[in-house]
Amino acid sequence: MNPDLDALHPYPFEKLAALKADLTPPESLAHIPLTIGEPQHAPYPGALAALVAHQAEMARYPATNGLPALRETIAAWACQRFALADLDIERQVLPVNGTREAIFAFVQAALDRSRPSKVAVPNPFYQIYEGAALLAGGEPLYLDCTADNGFRPDFSAVSADTWRDVQIVFICSPGNPTGAVTPLADFKQLIALADEHDFIIASDECYSELYLDEAAPPPGLLQACAELGRDDYRRCVVFHSLSKRSNLPGLRSGFIAGDADLIMPFKRYRTYHGCAMSLPMQHASIAAWQDENHVFANREAYREKFGAVTELLAPVMDFPTPEASFYLWPAVPGGDDIAFTQRLFVEQHVSVLPGSLMGRPGREGRNPGSGRLRLALVAELAPTLEAAERLRQLIERG
């Protein structure tokens, strides 16, 4: 077997299961998980109807490139959403089976093992970035995201000598787990650094449509390119998904877009990879990308939930003001996120994800996820509020 497999860390949820294995929660309280970021709102009905309408097309092999109609729909959506002049549907857009699969595969195709191959990732982070780097023979470079830097990577803190060995920089905006939004100025700073040091910027924007201020949608990497007049999107790719936007995580549908000199080789890789999206799923995706009403309603539901949970928890917990995504990132009273997670499960039958399981020791040897929790507010309003009430009761009990 590939020896690089031994470098992969257990997934955070495996570690969480081990932490809870010998614990006994109260039987009188129903379990409420705030752990996995799996949307529980109703999936977009139009996509489900399209799946049924095109089910007979399961009898046909799909092309890696995807249907022209799907690529046209994706390009139209991205151009409207991020004020882009154009996206070439033949060379700059590629449908994928969800961002997780595509992110992992992209690193395998893009990393050059013949030279130093650092992959910069925000810390704490979505573990796929790290796993993809390790299995491709790369070395993760952890960029700490703390309260001091607005929970965003500080690119100015990276030395020129370090940048020289970096091949890929991952951005996650809105951030998982922090919910922080990368401003256009930060994107532009990173683009300048990419030009200077010749690395790829890979922006994971799968939470981009879940934001709290309807007048301030999170900007994107290609939007920054467009403002700089870089319509070739040189060195830049973005990943988008229907999982969060349309509550369709089981559809496994998204896209990658950007620099044709990166997209086209990646498409060649995927032709061998055998990961084309089935035709019924492509038709369902077209329906979802073409409709914004259900996305607005989805944001409204999250907005109501964030408001109610914030009102409950803000008096007893410190957390950054939510901007986007569906996570809260509160500091733990007492500072021990592992012990607090175990106590919350034992006393209140609520599961949360300790922040330390999503991070690694950073520049100063400290895990920037330590002392915080990731709360995934994905369930309907009533159980989410009950979980928040139990959490507050535990803290007030002391």
pLDDT of residue 66: 96
Query: What does the block give as tokens for 280?
Result: 């019924």
Dihedrals phi, psi of 373, to nearest 5 degrees? -125, 150
- Give the whole-angstrom CA distance, residue 330 versus residue 178: 9
Contact indicator for 88, 278 with CB cutoff of 8 Å: no
**What is the predicted pLDDT for the residue at 209?**
98
215 in Cβ contact with 360 (< 8 Å): no
Edge-to-edge strand order for the sheet containing 327-328? 327-328, 373-376, 353-354
10 Å CB burial of residue 67 (0-12, 13-18, 19+) is: middle
Per CATH, the number for 3-42+294-397 is 3.90.1150.10
Q: For residue 212, how many other CB atoms are within 10 A of its CB?
A: 17
Is residue 174 within 8 A of residue 302, CB to CB? The reply is no
Place of tokens 């390119």: 225
Up-side HSE of residue 52: CA atoms within 13 Å toward CB?
4
Q: What is the pLDDT of residue 273?
A: 86
pLDDT on residue 321 = 87
Retrieve residue 72's tokens. 């046209």
Cβ atoms of 253 and 232 within 8 Å: the answer is no
Residues paired with residue 20 on neighbouring β-strands, in sequence order: none
Q: Tell me, what's the pLDDT at 362?
A: 84
What is the model's pLDDT at position 249? 96
Q: What is the pLDDT along the chain (398 residues), one digit of tens a residue?
A: 988 899 999 999 999 999 999 999 999 999 999 999 999 999 999 999 999 999 999 999 999 999 999 999 999 999 999 999 999 999 999 999 999 999 999 999 999 999 999 999 999 999 999 999 999 999 999 999 999 999 999 999 999 999 999 999 999 999 999 999 999 999 999 999 999 999 999 999 999 999 999 999 999 999 999 999 999 999 999 999 999 999 999 999 999 999 999 999 999 999 998 889 999 999 999 999 999 999 999 999 999 999 999 999 999 999 998 899 999 999 999 999 999 999 999 999 999 999 999 999 987 789 999 999 999 999 999 999 999 999 999 999 97
**pLDDT the model gives residue 4:** 87
pTM comes to: 0.96
4: Cβ contacts below 8 Å, ≥ 6 apart: 134, 135, 136, 137
Domain locations in the chain? 3-42+294-397, 57-291
| Contact by Cβ (8 Å): 149, 95 | no
Could you say which DSSP state residue 372 is in? B
How many CB atoms sit inside 10 A of residue 169's CB?
26
CATH of domain 57-291: 3.40.640.10
* Under 8 Å between Cβ of 313 and 306: no
Residue 50 tokens, joined = 């399209």
Q: How far apart are CA 386 and CA 336, in angstroms?
A: 23
